[in-house]
Amino acid sequence: MQLKLIDYIDKNLPKGFTPYYLFSIVVDEKEVGRITLRKGSRQEHYFDGHIGYHIEPEYRGHHYAGQACLLLQEMMGFQEVILTCDPDNVASLKTIQGLGAVFLERKVIPIKQRRFFSHDEKEKMIFLWKATEKIEG
């Protein structure tokens, strides 16, 4: 697996957005998904997380998101980040738990911040991933 930088976005961002890196997740020369690393504080990314990932449906079930998170940490060298998921997103929850992230809380997204989320996103499960700790498996 490789992460290939697509872009670093740091200009003309909407209000409330922080700069971020966008990477392609590549396996056997095929893009299987994408992963984003958002710069900023815990407070700034408490509901959207520092890392976002998406694996294309035909490539799911191979733990690519977790592997990509590990590669991202290796490349970028961060010590700890906030990871979040919707309470009903079982696949993302398994990825986060597989990384050894610690559950902080389940919290309703404040109304002021909901404009950054889709209409059906009302609450998030929030985790702290101390990337220096070993993961299971």
pTM of the model: 0.89
Answer for the pair 129, 80: CB distance below 8 angstroms, yes or no.
yes
- Give the integer Cα–Cα distance in Å for 60 and 35: 14
Q: For 104-116, what is each residue's pLDDT tens digit?
A: 999 987 777 766 6
Q: Kindly provide the residue ranges of all beta strands, DSSP E only, lying in 18-74, ordered along the sequence.
A: 20-27, 30-38, 51-55
What 3-state DSSP class applies to 75? Answer: helix
Answer for the pair 8, 21: CB distance below 8 angstroms, yes or no.
yes
Structure tokens at 2: 């490789």
- Give the integer Cα–Cα distance in Å for 93 and 39: 22
Nearest to 126 by CA among 70, 46, 39, 50: 46
Average pLDDT score, the chain = 91
Over 90: is that where the pLDDT of 97 sits? yes
Q: For 59-77, what is each residue's pLDDT tens digit?
A: 999 999 999 999 999 999 9
- Give the integer Cα–Cα distance in Å for 117 and 109: 9
